[in-house]
Amino acid sequence: MGDLIQLIVSGIATGAIYALAALGFTLLWQAAGVINFSQGEFVMLPAFAILLFIALGAPLWLAFLLACVAAMLVLGIGFKWVIVDPLIRHGVIPLVIATLGLSIGLKSTLKAGYSAEAHPFPSPFPGGQFSIADVNISYADIGTLVVAGFVVISLQLFLNRTVTGRAMQAVAQNTDAAKVLGIDVKRMVLYTFLINAVLAAVAALLVTPTYLAKFDMGDAIGQKAFFAAIIGGFNQTRGALLGGVLIGVLENLVGFYVSPAYKEGVALILFLVVIVFRPEGLLGRAEERKV
Amino acid sequence: MADKIIEFDKVIAGYSPSLTILNETTLDARRGEITLLIGPNGAGKSTVLKTLFGMLVPRSGEVRFEGKRINGKPPRALLADGIAFVPQGRNLFGSLSVRHNLELGGITLPRGELPARIEEVLARFPRIRERIDNQASTMSGGEQKQLEVGRALLLRPRVLLIDEPSIGLSPKLVQEVMTLLRGLADAGTTVLMVEQNVRTALKYSNRALVLEMGRLALDRPASELLHDPDLNRLFLGGHARTAA
């Protein structure tokens, strides 16, 4: 029983990180109709940015804040202006191809231009664990849950309790109707890109101590975040949360009770099952788009 | 005769360079009247409203509001000028509450003015008040249309553009919406309406403009056109007998 609880708590913590990246997927899709296949690299870059700022003498917390600012500029504004804005009018497919290309380009550039090695990354949480009865839970898992939970709850409060958040939801639900009311659609879409960049930076802070900073660290997290978004429902932010946590927990359970060899296949199998039996995702709603 | 508040002067507009819908369209709407735009599908009725509201930029010609050129002026600026638009179809944000839909309708207003404006709309639409905390998607079709119109009225527009307000509504609700629009016009709001339910709409309108192939084919008092035996032919795209 102790093992089971440990696995579930640890799985929720890992899943929360997937969920952060998956949230970015769903937000970008809803607000701008963008599927970003370089989302994994959006997590990898802030990890290296944090290491860069630490190397320049900043403490971890300051390095993280600076990385958030850099992410907003490069992965938020830069990504939108340089890749999305010129291509969005041509439809989804050119953007999919462009983001796939961006993913390959970023990885290759980092590998060839900086390092192909895995670099250790400081954990923002103390080492060790605490025990209750026969259950041992690491401080890292608790810290991850607290930080990811705080970010997700803050985001939900922002989206639901502020006029700007509701305007962003309005743009996501019906862009034309939002324009008609005088909502500044371009600004709301830009906010979404900025939020995605910050979510990626937070995911980098939480996941890199485990994954280590490496040019291809985004492959796994990007893939799982994408599956999580589909499993939960691509058009629902809470779907991304559910999808992320489901994958994290099931990976842990399968890895422990079945075989670690099957762990990496869990997200794919869950994804296939959902696509076949509930294509709109567990919490998603069927969607029609005009062609 | 009331003065012209909206004018289209030889406007050419469309959805792409190869798809021209408005073909040197010249028409006007007069202050405090309901002007009804009718014509067959593709005649350019909705395009007139979209061009007027800055959602399409004319390739040539001039669109004027109170004598001033407004070609391509963005919707946000036109709202500030006093023009509001209720497009065709469902335009609510279904997952948001009725109150939040109303709040977004007043997003261009100073924050302090919003509560009083919402109260003003709720006083006019008691049914919306009853549903104020419900999700907009749970409302009936008639209630949703009332909310859309109410949301547009938050800004106290001087001109209300409304596209197909009767779609999806029962005959009784259509009468209610038309009565509402008539009341607005009688209180001084100019209404420019596109409506397929021509006979009903004509009863509540002052003027009818018949569009054919993106041009004004006929401009007559609504009461006169209502009794025209050729009404169905005109509406379905037959050639108008009397050019404007």
pLDDT digits (tens, 9 = 90+) for B10-50: 999 998 878 889 999 999 999 999 999 998 888 899 999 99
| A176 in reach of chain B (CB within 8 A) | yes
Q: Are B52 and B192 in contact (CB under 8 A)?
A: yes
Judged by CB atoms closer than 8 Å, whether chains meet at B87 and A184 is answered as no
Range A2-124+137-277: architecture per CATH: Orthogonal Bundle (1.10)
Q: Mind listing the pLDDT tens digit for each residue in B134-161?
A: 999 999 888 888 899 899 999 999 999 9
Please name the member of B91, B92, B107 whose beta carbon is closest to the beta carbon of A182: B107
Alpha carbon distances (Å) from A205 to A143, A151, A244, B159, B177: 11, 13, 17, 53, 55
Q: Do A170 and B53 touch (CB under 8 A)?
A: no
Residue A12: CB atoms within 10 A of its CB come to: 21
pLDDT digits (tens, 9 = 90+) for B161-185: 999 988 877 888 888 889 989 999 9
Nearest CA distance, A179 vs chain B (angstrom)? 7
Measured between CA atoms, how close is B212 to chain A, in angstroms? 26
Report the C-alpha gap between A87 and A95 in whole angstroms: 6
Q: For residue B146, count CB atoms less than 10 angstroms from its CB and return exposed for 0-12, middle for 13-18, buried for 19 or more.
A: buried
Query: Where do the domains of chain B lie?
Result: 4-91+156-236
User: Strands across the sheet with B19-30, in order?
Assistant: B19-30, B4-16, B60-65, B68-69
Q: How far is CA A265 from CA A103, A109, A121, A148, A255, in A?
A: 22, 29, 26, 24, 10
| pLDDT score recorded for residue A135 | 82
- How far is the C-alpha of A143 from the C-alpha of A83, rounded, in Å? 35
Q: From CA A131, how far away is CA B183, in angstroms rounded?
A: 72
Nearest CB to A183 within list B95, B104, B151 = B104
Interatomic CA distance for residues B67 and B65, integer angstroms:
5
Contact B151 A181 (CB under 8 A): yes
List the one residue out of A39, A185, A3 whose CA is nearest residue B76: A185
Taking an 8 Å cut-off on Cβ atoms, the answer to whether B104 and A178 are in contact is yes
- Tens place of pLDDT for every residue, chain A, 291 residues? 778 888 999 999 999 999 999 998 899 988 888 889 999 999 999 999 999 999 999 999 999 999 999 999 999 999 999 999 999 888 888 999 999 999 999 999 999 988 899 999 999 999 888 888 788 889 999 999 999 999 999 999 999 999 999 999 999 888 889 999 999 999 999 999 999 999 999 999 999 998 899 999 999 999 999 999 999 988 788 889 999 999 999 999 999 999 988 988 999 999 999 999 998 889 887 765 544
Determine the 3-state secondary structure of B241 from DSSP: coil
B101-141 pLDDT, tens digit each: 999 999 988 889 999 999 999 998 888 999 999 999 999 88
pLDDT of residue A32: 84
Coil, strand or helix: which one is B153?
Answer: helix
Is residue B244's pLDDT more than 90?
no
B93 vs A173, A182, A184: nearest CB = A173
- Domain map of chain A by residue range? 2-124+137-277
| pLDDT surpassing 70 at residue B233 | no
Residue B3, pLDDT > 70, answer yes
Residue B19 bridge partners (DSSP): B16
Backbone angles phi, psi at B72, to 5 degrees: 70, 10
pLDDT the model gives residue B243: 41
Q: How many CB pairs under 8 A join A and B?
A: 56
Best of B52, B57, B93, B163 to disrupt the A interface by mutation (most A CBs within 10 Å)?
A: B93
A96 alpha carbon, distance to own chain's centre: 17
pLDDT value, residue A291 = 42
Question: What kind of fold does domain B4-91+156-236 have according to CATH?
Answer: Rossmann fold (3.40.50)
B224 vs chain A: nearest CA distance in angstroms?
34
A175 touches chain B (CB under 8 A): no
B114 CB within 8 Å of a chain A CB: no
Nearest-angstrom CA–CA distance, A32 and A10 = 33
Q: Using CA atoms of B67, B71, B74, B79 in order, give the dihedral in degrees to the nearest 10.
A: 20
Given an 8 Å threshold on Cβ–Cβ distance, is B93 in contact with A163? no
Query: Shortest CA distance to A200 belongs to which of A34, A36, A13?
Result: A36
pLDDT at residue B169, as a whole number: 79
pLDDT level of residue B242 (50, 70, 90 thresholds): very low
Tokens of B101: 């839909």
pLDDT of residue A288: 57
Query: pLDDT tens digits, residue range A62-103?
Result: 999 999 999 999 999 999 999 999 998 888 889 999 999 999
Partners of A174 on chain B (C-beta within 8 Å) are: 91-93
Residue in A163, A173, A178 nearest the CB of B95: A173
**Per-residue CA distances from B172 to A52, A226, B106, B119 (Å):** 68, 48, 29, 26
Q: Show the DSSP H helices in chain B as ranges.
A: 45-52, 75-81, 98-105, 114-124, 126-130, 141-153, 171-186, 198-204, 222-226, 231-236
DSSP B89-146: S--S-TTSBHHHHHHHHTTTS-GGGHHHHHHHHHHH-HHHHHTTTSBGGGS-HHHHHH
Is residue B96 within 8 angstroms of chain A, CB to CB?
yes
Q: How many Å lie between the alpha carbon of A147 and the closest alpha carbon of chain B?
A: 28
pLDDT of residue B62: 95
Instruction: State the amino acid at position B222 in one-letter form.
Output: A
Q: Residue B15: enclosing H or E segment and its boundaries?
A: strand B4-16
- Cα distances from A237 to residues A27, A29, A71, A172, A227, in angstroms, run 7, 10, 21, 11, 14
Interatomic CA distance for residues A279 and A231, integer angstroms: 8
